[in-house]
Amino acid sequence: MEEDLAMEIIDGGVTAVQGFKASGLHCGIKRSKADLALIFSEKEATAAGVFTQNVVKAAPVILTMEHLSSGRARAVVVNSGNANACTGERGMSDAKKMAELTADALGIKPQEVVVASTGVIGVPLPMDKIQRGIYEAAEKLSADGGPTAAEAIMTTDTYPKKFAVRCDIDGTPITVGGIAKGSGMIHPNMATMLAFITTDVAVSPKMLRKALKSAVDKSFNMITVDGDTSTNDMVVVLANGLSKIPIIDAETPAYFKFLKTLERVCLELAKEIVRDGEGATKFVEIEVLGASSIEGARKLALSVATSNLVKTALFGEDANWGRILAACGKAGVEFNPSKVDIFLQSKVGTEQTARGGMGLPFSEENASRILAEKEIKIIINLNDGESSVKAWTCDLSYEYVRINASYRT
């Protein structure tokens, strides 16, 4: 869609949207922090999900994929602190029990419940604690509960992630809100990342799935922290249709406006995950320009984003452009190295470090000032076409190693 769409940023996350309630509380999975969240639509909602591509999928992922095959859902129940992954038959039984308990507490069907878990792999869920927590969470559901739900889904996150926007479609306001968690084990397709999005748009299951896939491809699937894809990832969107716009059932102008709004929420949440990357000191945007295809540009951008050599150089504030070009070269994409230009950029300026695949006598002093900033941009121009993409990553620090060396203990 070519026209700009005015969007108002609003508070509340998932409960910024009319007809949705949420809650978050501590049920005892973790020592003290909130560890169980509930999101509820007061009326039946269209629903869609995108899930981890890891062959090893946690029980809640398998169950939720089954439930969302209907294109409908009304509730999301999430526990943190325990992934319920690699837990065998008991794990699947516990995931189903979470759906049944939630359905009973809310007066809906178990098949209308999305179940998600995040945390340590290979440990059975403490179902007695979760059962009490679900009923308590149902009692505490509130139209102001989005922020508490955002807190309850965190694991190694240092802060909750929530975002919501409102815009007009043909003069009628529509809202999209979301919450997310993720800090480590973050890599495309997707990572140890959960995101739950709500909207009051009326949209068919087919078009909601199409919109979500498109939005995720430009956001959550273009971020990486450490190159590891988790067992539990999912992005789920619920659309309750309470806005007054006609149902979206085709690629109409209304669809593209909704898509633009959904993309904005997904992108802001995805960027917050990278900013909160485990041990991260830098937030890095990688832009690939002049590529011969979008797919090739994506592979190149993500190859640079996942390169430990690039990420450690960024942590050390070293303008090592050779590592960037080498990371492009291992992406499995055909391009002409002798055409590539590389730039480093931040709010203090821009420095070109390579032209035509060769180093320039650039200012090390200026490059150091650029890399000393918290937010950095790497620009790679292939000078070979019209396609461009962006990816987001962070640096790799001593703190990342410390966090992950002692995650279970």
Domains and CATH numbers, the chain: 8-275 (3.60.70.12), 283-405 (3.10.20.340)
What is residue 187's predicted lDDT score, i.e. its pLDDT? 44
One digit per residue, pLDDT tens: the chain, 409 residues? Answer: 345 789 999 999 999 999 999 999 999 999 999 999 999 999 999 999 999 888 889 999 999 999 999 999 999 999 999 999 999 999 999 999 999 999 999 999 999 999 999 988 899 999 999 999 999 999 999 999 999 999 999 988 999 999 999 999 999 999 999 999 986 544 443 336 899 999 999 999 999 999 999 999 999 989 876 555 678 889 999 999 999 899 999 999 999 999 999 999 999 999 999 988 777 899 999 999 999 999 999 999 999 999 999 999 999 999 999 999 999 999 999 999 999 999 999 999 999 999 999 999 999 999 999 999 999 999 999 999 999 999 999 998 888 788 777 655 5
What is residue 398's predicted lDDT score, i.e. its pLDDT? 87
Query: Which stretch of DSSP H or E encloses residue 99?
Result: helix 88-106
192 assigned to active site: yes
What is residue 226's predicted lDDT score, i.e. its pLDDT? 56
Q: What is the 3-state secondary structure (H, E, C) of 185-236?
A: CCCCCCCCCEEEEEECCCECHHHHHHHHHHHHHCCHHHECCCCCCCCCCEEE
Q: pTM score, two decimals?
A: 0.91
What is residue 1's predicted lDDT score, i.e. its pLDDT? 38
DSSP-derived 3-state class of residue 392: strand
What is residue 190's predicted lDDT score, i.e. its pLDDT? 34
* C-alpha–C-alpha distance, residues 63 and 94, integer Å: 11
Q: Which of 52, 192, 353, 393 is catalytic?
A: 192
For the chain, what percentages of helix, strand and coil (3-state, to nearest 5) are there?
35, 30, 35
What is residue 3's predicted lDDT score, i.e. its pLDDT? 54
* C-alpha–C-alpha distance, residues 288 and 331, integer Å: 13
* C-alpha–C-alpha distance, residues 138 and 104, integer Å: 10
* C-alpha–C-alpha distance, residues 196 and 49, integer Å: 9
CA triplet 268, 272, 276: central angle to 5 degrees?
A: 175
